Structure 1
Amino acid sequence: MKYQQQITINKPRKEVVAKFSDPDNMKHWQRGFIFMKPINGNLGDEGSQNLLKYEMGKREIEMTETIIKNNLPDEYSATYEAKGVYNYQVNRFSPTMESATLWTTDNEFQFSGFMKLFGWFMPGAFKKQSRKYMEDFKAFVEEGKSVKDH
């Protein structure tokens, strides 16, 4: 399953990318985020890996992030692997004429095992989750709103 999403953030690209690239900010715009821990390589370097942990409903999910390309502000791409789910994501940040930033994500998901059924019958759930992260990030950057305050 592949899809692309975009959102305009009404702040300059430099500010948007600074907030996106700071792992300490993840708790403010990724609901359910518990922690991120480097497990291989230097944080942010291409080829480095991080362990990410999230609370999703009553379950905790661990995934491994592998950074494929990090030449921010232009592109940040990584893979995310969890049990039954493989996600390749490309993030791009483009300046607009109005001193805002257009954030574009390209997502590709592959499923195995039980998650194949979930991906087949509920593809909208993944798109909805991606969109919610983007909307929460926009609110965090523009207004300082944190998902932790809800």
Structure 2
Amino acid sequence: MKYTTKIVVDKPIVEVTKKINSVDNMKHWQEGLISVEHISGTPGEFGAKMKLKYDFGNRKMELIETVTKNELPKKLYLTYSTKGIHNIQQNYFQSIGESQTEWISKSEFQPTTFFMRAMLFFMPNAFKKQSLKYMTNFKNFVEHGTSVNYATT
């Protein structure tokens, strides 16, 4: 399954891409994120890997994030792998004037199990909704300092 999501952040591209490329900021816009562990490579650079752990109440998830291209402030490509699914994400950033940034995210989900293939088929909007939620959380964090990590606000 492939889809594209977009959002405009009311901050300059340099500020937006600096914040999106910071591991320390992830907890403020990725709801459910409980830990980040560096595995290999230079953080933020091609080939770098991190283990991300999430807790969504009744569902826990662990993913491996790999940087596949970092040409910020214009592009950031990442892959996420977990049991049952592989996610390829291409993020593009474009200045709109001096004070706004358009973030376009192209996502491709590749199921590796029958269960995840069924989830993608029957619930594609759940994946799109989650992507847009994280983008909106990021926008709110960058523009207003609003964090989804209530322990740190």
TM-score, normalised via structure 1 length: 0.96
Cα distance in 2 for partners of 1:57, 1:124 equals 21
Q: C-alpha distance in 2, partners of 1:112/1:19?
A: 32
The answer for the alignment partner of 2:144 in structure 1 is 143
The answer to whether residue 18 in structure 2 is matched with residue 18 in structure 1 is yes
Counterpart CA distance in 2 for 1:41 and 1:22 is 15
Match of 1:42 in 2: 42
Q: Distance in 1 between matches of 2:128 and 2:43?
A: 27
- Residues 31-70 of structure 1 correspond to what in structure 2 (within 5 A)? 31-70=31-70
Residue 50 of structure 1 deviates from its aligned partner by 0.9
| DSSP-derived class of the 2:11 partner | coil
CA–CA separation in structure 2 for the residues paired with 1:18 and 1:59: 31
Give the 3-state SS of the residue equivalent to 1:90 in structure 2.
Answer: strand
* Correspondence for 2:28: 28
Secondary structure of the corresponding residue to residue 129 of structure 2: helix
Question: How large is the RMSD of aligned CA atoms in angstroms?
Answer: 1.2
Provide structure 2 residue ranges, at least 5 long, that are not aligned to the other structure: none
Unaligned runs of 5+ in 1: none
Q: Which residue of 1 aligns with 2:97?
A: 97
What CA deviation, in whole Å up to 9, does each residue of 1:63-90 have, x standing for no partner?
Answer: 1111100111111101100000110001
Partner SS state of residue 147, structure 1? coil
Aligned residues: 150
CA distance in 2, matches of 1:127, 1:54: 18
CA distance in structure 2 between the partners assigned to 1:56 and 1:86 by the alignment: 19
Identify the range of structure 1 (94-103 vs 26-35) with the bigger mean alpha-carbon deviation.
94-103
